[in-house]
Amino acid sequence: MNTIKIKFAFLSIGILLFSNHVFSQNDEVSARFSLPRIALIDIEPAVDNSIYFTIVPSNKSGASPQVKETSNKKLWINYSSALASTQNSRSIFAEISEGVLPEGISLFLETSSFIGSGKGNMGQPTDKISLTNQPKAIITDVGNCYTGDGINNGHSLTFSIDISDYSILYSSEESTFTILYTISDY
Protein backbone atom coordinates (compact mmCIF):
# COMPACT_ATOMS: atom_id res chain seq x y z
CA MET A 1 0.00 0.00 0.00
CA ASN A 2 2.87 2.34 0.77
CA THR A 3 4.35 1.47 -2.60
CA ILE A 4 1.13 2.47 -4.34
CA LYS A 5 1.04 5.80 -2.44
CA ILE A 6 4.67 6.51 -3.34
CA LYS A 7 4.10 5.57 -6.99
CA PHE A 8 0.95 7.74 -7.04
CA ALA A 9 2.86 10.66 -5.48
CA PHE A 10 5.68 10.35 -8.06
CA LEU A 11 3.13 10.04 -10.85
CA SER A 12 1.26 13.13 -9.60
CA ILE A 13 4.50 15.16 -9.33
CA GLY A 14 5.55 13.97 -12.79
CA ILE A 15 2.19 14.94 -14.33
CA LEU A 16 2.37 18.38 -12.67
CA LEU A 17 5.92 18.98 -13.86
CA PHE A 18 5.17 17.71 -17.35
CA SER A 19 1.92 19.69 -17.67
CA ASN A 20 3.62 22.84 -16.39
CA HIS A 21 6.41 22.37 -18.91
CA VAL A 22 4.11 21.54 -21.81
CA PHE A 23 1.30 24.03 -21.21
CA SER A 24 3.33 27.02 -19.97
CA GLN A 25 5.61 28.92 -22.30
CA ASN A 26 7.58 32.10 -21.73
CA ASP A 27 9.31 34.41 -24.11
CA GLU A 28 11.07 37.73 -23.64
CA VAL A 29 11.13 40.93 -25.64
CA SER A 30 13.66 43.69 -25.10
CA ALA A 31 12.25 47.16 -24.64
CA ARG A 32 14.47 50.21 -24.94
CA PHE A 33 13.83 53.78 -23.96
CA SER A 34 15.85 56.83 -24.86
CA LEU A 35 15.31 60.44 -23.81
CA PRO A 36 17.93 62.91 -24.97
CA ARG A 37 18.89 65.92 -22.90
CA ILE A 38 16.47 68.73 -23.73
CA ALA A 39 16.82 72.47 -23.11
CA LEU A 40 14.30 74.58 -25.06
CA ILE A 41 12.83 78.03 -24.41
CA ASP A 42 10.28 80.14 -26.25
CA ILE A 43 8.75 83.59 -25.76
CA GLU A 44 4.99 83.93 -26.32
CA PRO A 45 3.08 85.32 -28.07
CA ALA A 46 5.23 84.27 -31.00
CA VAL A 47 4.02 87.08 -33.27
CA ASP A 48 5.17 90.63 -32.44
CA ASN A 49 6.43 90.05 -28.93
CA SER A 50 7.91 93.56 -28.75
CA ILE A 51 7.37 95.85 -25.78
CA TYR A 52 7.06 99.61 -26.33
CA PHE A 53 7.68 102.34 -23.78
CA THR A 54 7.30 106.08 -24.15
CA ILE A 55 8.56 108.84 -21.90
CA VAL A 56 5.96 111.59 -21.88
CA PRO A 57 6.73 115.07 -20.60
CA SER A 58 4.53 116.36 -17.84
CA ASN A 59 2.02 119.08 -18.66
CA LYS A 60 3.01 120.89 -15.46
CA SER A 61 6.24 122.79 -15.15
CA GLY A 62 8.58 121.32 -12.56
CA ALA A 63 6.97 117.86 -12.68
CA SER A 64 8.92 114.78 -13.76
CA PRO A 65 8.30 113.02 -17.08
CA GLN A 66 6.11 109.94 -16.96
CA VAL A 67 7.03 106.51 -18.29
CA LYS A 68 4.23 104.72 -20.12
CA GLU A 69 4.11 101.23 -21.59
CA THR A 70 2.31 101.81 -24.86
CA SER A 71 2.14 98.17 -25.96
CA ASN A 72 0.37 96.89 -22.81
CA LYS A 73 1.30 93.33 -23.71
CA LYS A 74 2.19 90.48 -21.37
CA LEU A 75 4.89 88.08 -22.51
CA TRP A 76 5.36 84.50 -21.34
CA ILE A 77 8.44 82.30 -21.26
CA ASN A 78 7.82 78.60 -22.00
CA TYR A 79 10.48 75.93 -21.54
CA SER A 80 11.14 72.20 -21.67
CA SER A 81 13.98 70.52 -19.81
CA ALA A 82 15.29 66.95 -19.57
CA LEU A 83 18.47 66.73 -17.52
CA ALA A 84 21.31 64.25 -17.59
CA SER A 85 21.18 61.83 -14.66
CA THR A 86 24.24 63.50 -13.08
CA GLN A 87 22.81 67.01 -13.38
CA ASN A 88 20.77 68.78 -10.69
CA SER A 89 19.16 71.74 -12.45
CA ARG A 90 19.35 74.53 -14.99
CA SER A 91 18.83 78.29 -14.95
CA ILE A 92 17.37 80.75 -17.45
CA PHE A 93 19.22 84.02 -18.02
CA ALA A 94 18.27 87.32 -19.68
CA GLU A 95 20.51 90.06 -21.07
CA ILE A 96 20.49 92.91 -23.57
CA SER A 97 22.29 91.35 -26.54
CA GLU A 98 21.89 94.08 -29.18
CA GLY A 99 21.48 97.82 -28.87
CA VAL A 100 22.09 100.10 -25.92
CA LEU A 101 19.71 101.61 -23.42
CA PRO A 102 19.74 105.42 -23.46
CA GLU A 103 21.81 106.89 -20.66
CA GLY A 104 19.78 107.65 -17.57
CA ILE A 105 17.27 104.83 -18.25
CA SER A 106 17.10 101.50 -16.42
CA LEU A 107 15.13 98.54 -17.77
CA PHE A 108 13.76 96.01 -15.29
CA LEU A 109 12.38 92.50 -15.74
CA GLU A 110 10.24 90.65 -13.22
CA THR A 111 9.35 86.98 -13.66
CA SER A 112 6.22 85.44 -12.11
CA SER A 113 5.87 82.05 -10.47
CA PHE A 114 4.88 79.17 -12.76
CA ILE A 115 1.33 79.15 -14.10
CA GLY A 116 -0.12 76.69 -16.60
CA SER A 117 -0.66 73.16 -17.77
CA GLY A 118 2.88 71.77 -17.61
CA LYS A 119 4.29 69.13 -15.30
CA GLY A 120 7.55 68.39 -13.53
CA ASN A 121 10.02 70.39 -11.47
CA MET A 122 9.42 73.96 -12.64
CA GLY A 123 12.01 76.63 -12.03
CA GLN A 124 11.78 79.33 -9.38
CA PRO A 125 11.68 83.02 -10.38
CA THR A 126 14.36 85.33 -9.07
CA ASP A 127 13.75 88.83 -7.78
CA LYS A 128 13.21 91.71 -10.19
CA ILE A 129 16.44 92.36 -12.14
CA SER A 130 17.92 95.33 -13.96
CA LEU A 131 18.72 94.24 -17.52
CA THR A 132 22.22 94.99 -18.82
CA ASN A 133 24.56 93.46 -21.38
CA GLN A 134 25.58 90.86 -18.77
CA PRO A 135 23.42 87.71 -18.33
CA LYS A 136 21.41 87.61 -15.11
CA ALA A 137 19.34 84.68 -13.83
CA ILE A 138 15.57 85.17 -14.05
CA ILE A 139 14.57 81.54 -13.29
CA THR A 140 16.65 79.03 -11.30
CA ASP A 141 16.34 75.37 -10.24
CA VAL A 142 14.73 74.19 -13.50
CA GLY A 143 14.48 70.40 -13.30
CA ASN A 144 12.89 67.80 -15.57
CA CYS A 145 9.73 69.54 -16.75
CA TYR A 146 7.70 71.26 -19.42
CA THR A 147 5.61 74.40 -18.88
CA GLY A 148 2.98 73.97 -21.56
CA ASP A 149 3.01 76.06 -24.72
CA GLY A 150 1.60 79.51 -25.42
CA ILE A 151 0.29 82.36 -23.34
CA ASN A 152 -0.85 81.61 -19.79
CA ASN A 153 1.74 78.81 -19.59
CA GLY A 154 5.15 79.16 -17.99
CA HIS A 155 6.20 82.38 -16.32
CA SER A 156 4.87 85.81 -17.23
CA LEU A 157 7.49 88.48 -17.95
CA THR A 158 6.80 92.02 -16.77
CA PHE A 159 9.01 94.84 -18.02
CA SER A 160 9.33 98.31 -16.57
CA ILE A 161 11.64 101.24 -17.12
CA ASP A 162 12.77 103.89 -14.74
CA ILE A 163 14.52 107.19 -15.24
CA SER A 164 17.51 106.44 -13.06
CA ASP A 165 19.50 109.64 -13.63
CA TYR A 166 17.81 112.80 -14.96
CA SER A 167 21.15 114.62 -15.19
CA ILE A 168 22.31 112.43 -18.12
CA LEU A 169 18.95 111.89 -19.82
CA TYR A 170 18.80 113.59 -23.22
CA SER A 171 16.16 113.76 -25.90
CA SER A 172 16.66 111.01 -28.44
CA GLU A 173 15.03 109.19 -31.28
CA GLU A 174 13.59 105.73 -30.74
CA SER A 175 16.06 103.29 -29.17
CA THR A 176 15.75 99.62 -30.04
CA PHE A 177 17.48 96.74 -28.30
CA THR A 178 17.16 92.98 -28.17
CA ILE A 179 16.77 90.86 -25.06
CA LEU A 180 18.33 87.41 -25.27
CA TYR A 181 17.07 84.51 -23.12
CA THR A 182 19.32 81.51 -22.53
CA ILE A 183 18.63 78.23 -20.72
CA SER A 184 21.91 76.94 -19.34
CA ASP A 185 23.32 74.08 -17.30
CA TYR A 186 25.11 76.55 -15.02
* Number of DSSP helices (H) and strands (E) in the chain, helices first: 1, 13
Tell me the average pLDDT of the chain. 86
The pLDDT of residue 15 is above 60: no
Q: Let me know the angle formed at the C-alpha of 171 by 166 and 175, rounded to the nearest 5 degrees.
A: 100
- Taking 70 as the threshold, does the pLDDT of residue 52 lie above it? yes
CA gap 141, 129 in Å, rounded: 17
pLDDT value at position 8? 54
For the segment 136-148, what is each residue's pLDDT rounded down to a tens digit? Answer: 999 999 999 999 9
Written as one letter, the residue type at 150 is G
